[in-house]
Amino acid sequence: MDHSLSRQDRLGQVPPEIASRILLLRDDALVLNKPAGLATHRGPRASASVEDWLPALQMGRRHLPQPAHRLDQDTAGCLVLGRTKPALAALGAIFAKGLAAKTYWAVVQGGPAEDAGEIGLPIRKISSRAQGWRMEAHADGLASLTRWRCLGRGDGVAWLELAPETGRTHQLRVHCATMGWPILGDALYGAGGAGGLHLLARAIALPLEPPLQVEASPPPHMEGALGSCGWHAQARWLRLLHGERSSNHDGKRPVM
């Protein structure tokens, strides 16, 4: 390992298409803005995954970085990777204990009548030979809780901020669909179409030392629907409020 290389030098060795996805880079962890359509881990249905990026993200470290959690293949946004074995163990404990504060943005069909609330529907896994597996809200399922608030409304759609208090598979998708407002583009629990799943892992905060907090910008396929709900106007206002910064690799720049 070449300790003579600066962090910026190592970052410069990463392919631009991957480097542009790094939201935060520090000694113990890095955070990617994972694109929609890229699986977190290799699998029989995934032709490409974040695991393919790991050698490029090693940047002089002894071991490859590893994802500390997972995002669904069609979900974009904040994905945390540990850069050392001790850091990965610490991150694993944080996620296992439910200490990670996760915030998602979703554009849903229709939308709730209220401006804020919570969904406490239990979720279980079901499967059949004809349809494969999926999740459903059911009294026999595992306890699940999602807090939500409406950030804006458009023509037949709503922009929601979702905060899952539990981490069940497909929790946000199932909760929204069961409430009667499926996430736009959800082919499994909704009508599909709309250019892809409109779900973004918008922000994450972890109680590390120092604390880790970062935001991800929306993917291109979500911008139109978010804009119809007032996102562009809010983004401009926030930029004026916080001011522009020159770099986002310290994890402090507000990302719209």
- Given the residues 72, 140, 155, 186, select the one marked as catalytic: 72
Tell me whether strands 101-109 and 66-67 are parallel, antiparallel or unpaired. Answer: unpaired
* Nearest by Cα to 104 from 163, 152, 150: 163
Residue 250: phi and psi, rounded to 5, are: -90, 0
For 29, 179, 196, 205, 212, the CA distances from 94, given in Å and listed in that order, are 13, 30, 30, 11, 12
> What is the dihedral sign for C-alpha 109, 112, 116, 119?
negative
d(CA 148, CA 162): 5
For 81, 108, 119, 123, 221, the CA distances from 116, given in Å and listed in that order, are 32, 14, 10, 21, 25
Active site residue 115: no
Residues annotated as part of the active site: 72
